[in-house]
Structure 1
Amino acid sequence: MQINLSGKTAIVTGSTRGIGYAIAAGLAGAGATVVITGRKQADVDTALASLRAAVPGASVRGVAADLGNAAGFDTLKTAEPHADILVNNVGVFELQPFAEIPDAEWTRFFEINIMSGVRASRAYLPGMQQKNWGRIVFISSESGISIPADMIHYGFTKTGNLAISRGLAKSLAGTGITVNAVLPGPTLSEGVRELVAPGGDHAAAERAANEFVKQHRSGSIIQRVATPEEVANMVVYVCSTQASATTGAALRVDGGVVDTIA
């Protein structure tokens, strides 16, 4: 299968590292013009340099904006008024006992993990409707189905992503616009590396992460963490023209952690 996204502009939120960066690289490799975002200009500049080196000839741009609030979206929309593909990836996670999660953290997780996708989709959907073509992808998580006891606030927001993506897809019935959610499982992003092996090298982090999967996500069929690129592969596909009949779906890249055949 040859995926060709030439002529398409893709915005990937929260894409200076981790899964978001891998998605940006995958889309750029398929020929899309890619816009990456991050809160700090220095991080955006570093990611752009890395992306250009990884994908020679790639057409990439960057916007520094805090997408945890509405003002950040004003900045993004002013800099990049149009998108054919939108990947709502920006998000936060943290291990925290339920009784110790204050109201402010619930609000912060809601604003970043849920409202960022709502605001971005609302901003770029009209342009897609004018063309009668578009791809919107929400990066949810297997934690949105199997709510983790040590990250209830995170799981709650990822369930919200599923509800929004399904409802938005139904609202666009009969159009050329698809909306899907992709559900990664444990993935060796920079955030996970820092969580399981602070200060350790990549090999040490991978060993620690794989051990975490075996101990705390024992239902995993692959019995290891996924790579960001493995998640990105699914996203690139659902953004393609070949995926035109896939919409309203919750597509798992969880290594089989969720124990269901549906």
Structure 2
Amino acid sequence: MLITLEGKTALVTASTGGIGFTTAKILGESGATVIINGRSQESVNRALDKLHSELPNATFQGIPADLSRSEGCQALIDGAGEIDILVNNAGIYGALDFYDTSDEIWNQYWETNVMSGVRLSRAFIPKMQEKGWGRVVFISSESSRNIPADMIHYGVSKTAQLSLSRGLAKRFAGTGITFNCVLPGPTISDGFAAMFEQQAAQTGQSMEDIAKDFIAENRPSSVLKRAASVEEVANMIVYVCSEQASATSGAALRVDGGVVDDIV
């Protein structure tokens, strides 16, 4: 299967590192013009420098914007112009007990993880409708179906993305636009590495071994028995952005290593 996205413009939010960066890179390799996004101009510039160095013939642009605020979403909308592919990757996570999770924190997670995707979708869907083609992808999580007791606020926001994606697929049925969620499980991303950097330094373990131990202790239902790479997750995202995925819409596509114990 050869995925070609020549002539398409893709926007990947929170794409200066991790899954978002790798998704942007593979979309660029596939021929799309890619707009990357991060909170600061510095982070965007670093990511652009790396992408241009690795893929000198691909086309990348960058727009700094904080998507936890409506003003930041509007700045990104104004800067991006017309797009064909929207990958809603912006999100925050962190463990916190239910009793320690204030209204302010709940609102922060809701604004970043859910409302950023609502706002961007509302802005970009009309032009996709006019063209009769578009792709909208929400990067959810296995935590959307396997709610973690130590970060309920995060799980709730990720479940909301499933409802949003499915609802949009029904609302815009027959338009040529597809809406899907991709559900990563434990992934060796920049965020994961930062969480366990100190442990790696103290023990000399590789990040892969640390991830295996984490999964054995915290996600024993995994059938992969290891963490995914960012490339493995990004490959699924890019596939659902492609022409080849034209019959897939309203779906929740798991890249969780079988963590969710479900046959559907």
Checking the alignment, whether the CA contact within 8 Å between 1:193 and 1:206 is kept in structure 2 is no
Distance in 1 (alpha carbons) for counterparts of 2:161 and 2:136: 12
Q: Structure 1 203/228 Cα, relative in aligned 2: closer, same or farther at 3 Å? A: farther
Q: How far is the alpha carbon of 1:52 from its aligned partner? A: 1.6
Deviation readout 1:174-218 (Å, 9 max, x if unpaired): 111000000000011111111123374696333212210111101
8 Å Cα contact 2:93/2:154 also seen in 1? yes
SS in 2 for 1:35: strand
Query: Number of residue pairs matched?
Result: 262
Q: Note if 1:175 corresponds to 2:175.
A: yes
> Is 2:200–2:210's contact at 8 Å kept on the other side of the alignment?
no
Gaps of 5+ in 1: none
**CA displacement 1:109-156 (0-9 Å, x = unmatched):** 000000010011011001101101000000000000000011111000
Letter in structure 2 aligned against 1:109:
Y
CA distance in 1, matches of 2:115, 2:205: 35
Q: Is the 8 A contact 2:165 2:179 kept in 1?
A: yes
Separation (CA, whole Å) in 2 of partners of 1:73 and 1:101: 25
Give me the CA root mean square deviation.
1.3
141-150 or 71-80: bigger deviation: 71-80
Q: State the match for 2:211 in structure 1.
A: 209
Residue of structure 1 in register with 2:92 after alignment: 92
Identity of aligned residues (%): 53
Matched, 1:232 2:257: no
Per-residue deviation, 1:92: 0.3
| Aligned position for 1:10 | 10
The aligned residue for residue 242 of structure 1 is: 244
Aligned to 1:219: 221
Task: Give the SS at the match of 1:158.
Answer: helix
| Within-5 A mapping of 1:1-262 | 1-198=1-198, 200=200, 204-262=206-264
- CA–CA distance in 2 between the matches of 1:211 and 1:179? 35
Gapped runs of 5+ residues in structure 2? none
Residue type at the aligned position of 1:212: F
What are the Cα deviations for residues 31-83 of structure 1, in whole angstroms up to 9, with x where unaligned? 10000000010100000111122223110000011111110122112211111
TM-score (normalised: structure 2): 0.97
CA distance in 2: counterparts of 1:115 and 1:237, whole angstroms: 25
Instruction: Pick closer, same or farther for the CA change 1:155–1:125 going to 2, 3 Å.
Output: same
Secondary structure of residue in 2 paired with 1:5 = coil
Between the aligned partners of 1:128 and 1:26, the Cα distance in structure 2 is 22
The separation in 1 between residues aligned to 2:98 and 2:229, in whole angstroms, is 29
